[in-house]
A and B are shown apart, each in its own frame.
Chain A
Amino acid sequence: MIKIEDIHKSFGRTKVLNGVSLEVKQGELVALVGGSGSGKSVLLKHIAGLLRPDSGFIYINGTEITGLNKRQLELVRKEFGFLFQGGALFDSLTLFENVAFPLTEKLRLPKEEVTQRVLHYLDLVGLSGSEEKYPSQVSGGMIKRAALARSLITEPKIMLFDEPTTGLDPQMSLSILNLIRSVHDRLNLTGIIVTHAIPSVFKFTNRILMIYEGRIYFDGSPEEFKRSEEPIIRRFLGEEVLD
């Protein structure tokens, strides 16, 4: 469970989050949308404890995390999978080694088991055959998918996906959303997907959050979102349709 109470965050003079509150229940998969630069990535990083809010509270499964030190945070982070907007794969490692990294370094699993799991997950994201390539040798979409495999392979309880489908062709984004959905259903994980894949995402979640001017501007079902008469939402949807 993720619960956020009135967080504020500024970088220098730019106010990015201006009183965000929200709650995502155990097992819920929600989509977070909003214009570019509206603070979606910043919000996700707060939930993961990578950024600290100027004020406000964040609870992960009941534990308040904004006051925790590094060691205490580590315990909470065990539960997390995080997909960075840019993938954040390690340049010096192959795709295989990247996906294997959390298993070999953190969980210290035996070699055969690592190989088997990595190959399985690479297959799930459609990357069989590219195991030995380095991030610099593959496309942005492939980096995204390898990063998704890396974040799912530890079978986390809470998953934060920052734009898993951006940069993928429509068919690939559909299959990635399907994959996220099926992993979600299998592990009953709690998840937030930041996405621009509108309208396809409407089929994959039953709750949409929209961030606007540093607050949660909309919180409701995809149907309500689509039907909304709010000019700001209409304009946002219009933009997305034009895309």
Chain B
Amino acid sequence: MGPIRYIGAFTLNKLKRLGRMFFFLFEAFLYSIIPPIKLGLWVRQIRFIGAESLSVILLTGTFSGMVLGFQGYYSLSRFGSEAFLGPAVGLSLIKEIGPVISALMVTGRAGSAITAEIGIMRISEQIDAIELMGLNPFRYLVVPRLLAALVSVPLLTSIFDVVGILGGYLIGVKLLGVGSGTYFGEMANYVDLKDVTEGLLKSISFAVIIVWVSCFKGYYTGIYTGFGAEGVSKATTQAVVMASVLILLWDYVMTSLLFS
């Protein structure tokens, strides 16, 4: 009986946790569409998740584009098709690199802070205090962050794409000698609206993943990780790892779905 019972309990436990996690997401969406929305908190979170991530995105976007410029030129010149550097850089950035790296950067910068902040509110009983006033903690903690990320992450991603394309231009055109007209002309020929939409859909879903995971881990700090400062730091680590893994997995799922 021993091991079977153990496996049973383990499985049930995991399922319960998974169920709780999906219910959390459901509630987050539910209260995002039922007013009142706390506009002040929303704006504050756009500033935190969006505006304050800008420098990181500018930096990583430029360098990613520059690397793509080198690598793309190197691969394409083997087939004598350096002329297609523009579309190669543009498509990789818009469809793949832009959404994924932006989301990972936001996870590291804002996701971890979200978990820590909500986790501290949990262990210092601030969340219980909101509940005891007869108010809904989701409206104060989760909804403003979800709505802010849905605005900020796609915008950050587009900025990443733009500076990335300019980084590729810097390397391909200024350093390696591809024609400026060729770089942008071919890019305009080969990048469709469909590609842009694909990147946008990805970044929207990544925004949901980031907020979902980091808020959930913060909200349930203590229940899964133990109380105290150690509980918060564990929850934060778990949130960053889990959100990053989910982003990459979901990226695969979306790519394969959109491919067919």
Contacts and interface: CB of A to CB of B under 8 A. Distances in A.
B126 to A, nearest CB: 5
Nearest to B139: A105
Contacts of B129: 82, 84, 88, 90
B120 interface: yes
Contacts of B132: 48, 50, 77, 80, 82
B51 to A, nearest CB: 17
Interface string A41-60: 00001001010000000000
A88 B124 contact: yes
Contacts of A86: 124-125
A37 B64 CA distance: 55
Contacts of B128: 45, 50, 84, 88
Nearest to A98: B129
B133 A84 contact: no
B134 A74 contact: yes
Interface in B106-149: 120-121, 124-126, 128-129, 131-135
Interface in B131-174: 131-135
Contacts, number: 41
Interface SS of chain A: loop
Contacts of B131: 50, 77
A89 interface: yes
Interface string A141-155: 000000000000010
Interface of B is mostly: helix
A115 B133 CA distance: 19
A235 interface: no
A102 interface: yes
B146 to A, nearest CB: 18
A102 B133 contact: yes
A102 B140 CA distance: 13
Contacts of B125: 84-86, 88
Contact of A89 (B120, B126, B133, B135): B126
The residue in B120, B124, B125 that gathers the most chain A C-beta atoms within 10 A of its C-beta is: B125
A106 interface: yes
Interface string B46-66: 000000000000000000000
A202 interface: no
Contacts of B124: 86, 88, 91
Contacts of B120: 91
Contacts of A74: 134
A33 to B, nearest CB: 21
Contact of A105 (B121, B126, B135): B135
Nearest to B125: A88
A101 B121 CA distance: 16
A82 B128 CA distance: 10
Given A50-B132, A90-B126, 10 more contacts: A45-B128, A78-B134, A82-B132, A86-B124, A88-B126, A90-B129, A91-B121, A91-B124, A101-B133, A154-B133
9 nearest A-B residue pairs (beta carbon):
A88-B125, A88-B129, A74-B134, A84-B125, A82-B132, A102-B133, A88-B126, A77-B134, A50-B128
23 contacts: A48-B132, A50-B128, A50-B131, A77-B131, A77-B132, A77-B134, A78-B134, A84-B125, A84-B129, A86-B124, A86-B125, A88-B124, A88-B125, A89-B126, A90-B121, A90-B126, A90-B129, A91-B120, A91-B121, A91-B124, A105-B135, A106-B133, A106-B135
Interface of B: 120-121, 124-126, 128-129, 131-135
